[in-house]
Amino acid sequence: MLKNLWYVAEWSDTVKDKPVKTKLLGQNLVLFRDLEGKVKCLADVCLHRGGSLSGGWVNEKRDCVVCPYHGWQYNGGGKCQKIPSEGDSFQVPKRFKVDAYDVEERYGMIWVFMGDLPAEERFPIPPLPEYGDEANWRGLKTEFTWKAEASRVVENGIDIAHASFVHPVFGYPSTAEDNYIEEVEKHEWWGRSTNVMYPPQLKGGFLGWRNFLRKDKQETKVHPEWHLPGMIVRIKIDIRPGWHIVMFDANTPVDEHTTRTFAWQFRSFFKVKMFDKGSLQRLKTILLEDATIVQDSQPYYLPETLANEVSVKSDKFMSTFRMARRKLIEEKGWQIDTKARDEHKGKKVLTISSPGRRQAMIDGDGWVFDEMPTVPPIKSSTLKNEFERQVDVLTTESVNSKESIIA
């Protein structure tokens, strides 16, 4: 699990008048709306005796969440504003703060930045231009929970080769060797590829309308993307000229064993409500087919190197995701150290550092809770790690007349 990235914590319409409990990167959080309707996000724990703030309420002024244990009040910046037992004249010390995380609402989702990086240094929330464009797209949302680590879920989502075996609607085993990667584009925090596939004819739908969308084994372009912010998988399928499907999955690491997917699906055709039920059912079927495979995959986490795993040319786009992720771990030190964390389980509160904590340390105000430990970065700038060297070999050897890499 990686800190210093944006993640989707909840659907916007879930957070209304009462505090809402959620969980990101193994840490409990509380979400609440202030008087202006803006969502605030705090560590879900009171400084006093560890009460859960999400079990409380929003005060009358709607500027603080109230702990249900002793009534301590915390504003949207995490600062304790009132301690009822001490009286109205009591001056709350500066260090009486909990971590508060920056929030953005986009695409009907509540995005939380889980880290303390300044705004100008953060990777951006990925774009979703189809959202709100009702004239050209019909959007449907759904949700799915995996008993799997988020990076495994992302890698599965951008792996086109598995479609011929896991998803009957997307491929035939007999045409697996005919599918190929046409182009790969890689960047620091996102990547995109274009793939040529030969899937089966679509079937079903009201009065069999799907049968007319695509012929059997018709050449089809599929464009998967990954984005590190949000652990996003975005897939665009060109069914026929002017007819497209876009899937946008935000794969939130609830903890190292659980991933919560907030999914949008958009279609540019048959944009009336009567076709929604079938579209949602097919999306859920695809997610269930994937979960059956991913949840039984070993090892549980993505391998740290390729020493005990082999890859082929169809894996080169997934390798761009692995490489970008490894750089955040090895060069920036953003990976949560779950082993060190668990040594304090049940004994001490650990929270991911927020911008407020960083500033408090600079000002010398101190902080009550200890910071969530992370895996130290590798102090080497002259040699590539073994994983990246092997990926370079894989990428170089896989390029042929049908494939190209955009650096």
Percent of the chain whose pLDDT exceeds 70: 88
Distances (CA, A) of 311 to 158, 226, 307, 406: 15, 19, 10, 20
Sign of CA dihedral 255, 257, 262, 267: positive
Angle CA 35–41–46, to nearest 5: 100
Per-residue pLDDT, averaged over 361-372, amounts to 92
- The pLDDT tens digits of the residues spanning 102-131 come to 999 999 999 999 999 999 999 999 999 999
- Average pLDDT over the chain reads 89
Strands (E), 256-296: 258-267
| pTM tops 0.85, yes or no | yes
From the list 151, 99, 100, 114, the residue with the least C-alpha distance to 9 is 114
Percent of the chain whose pLDDT exceeds 90: 69
Question: Is the pLDDT confidence value at 384 over 60?
Answer: no
Contact 32, 20 (CB under 8 A): yes
The residue with tokens 């100008």 is 120
**Which residues, at least 6 apart from 302, have a Cβ–Cβ distance to it below 8 Å?**
149, 151, 152, 155, 322, 325
Of 58 and 306, the one with more pLDDT? 58
CA gap 336, 151 in Å, rounded? 14
- The pLDDT tens digits of the residues spanning 203-247 come to 655 555 555 566 677 788 999 999 999 999 999 999 888 999 999
pLDDT at 167: 81
Per-residue pLDDT, averaged over 346-371, amounts to 93
pLDDT-derived band at 197 (thresholds 50, 70, 90) equals confident
DSSP symbols for 368-405: SSEEPPBPPPP--SSS--HHHHHHHHHHHHH--TT-EE
pLDDT at 236: 97
pLDDT at 201: 66
The SS3 call for residue 325 is helix
Per-residue pLDDT, averaged over 7-32, amounts to 98
CA gap 311, 391 in Å, rounded? 9
- The pLDDT tens digits of the residues spanning 237-279 come to 998 889 999 999 999 999 999 999 999 999 999 899 988 898 8
| Domains along the sequence of the chain with CATH | 6-121 (2.102.10.10), 138-323+388-406 (3.90.380.10)
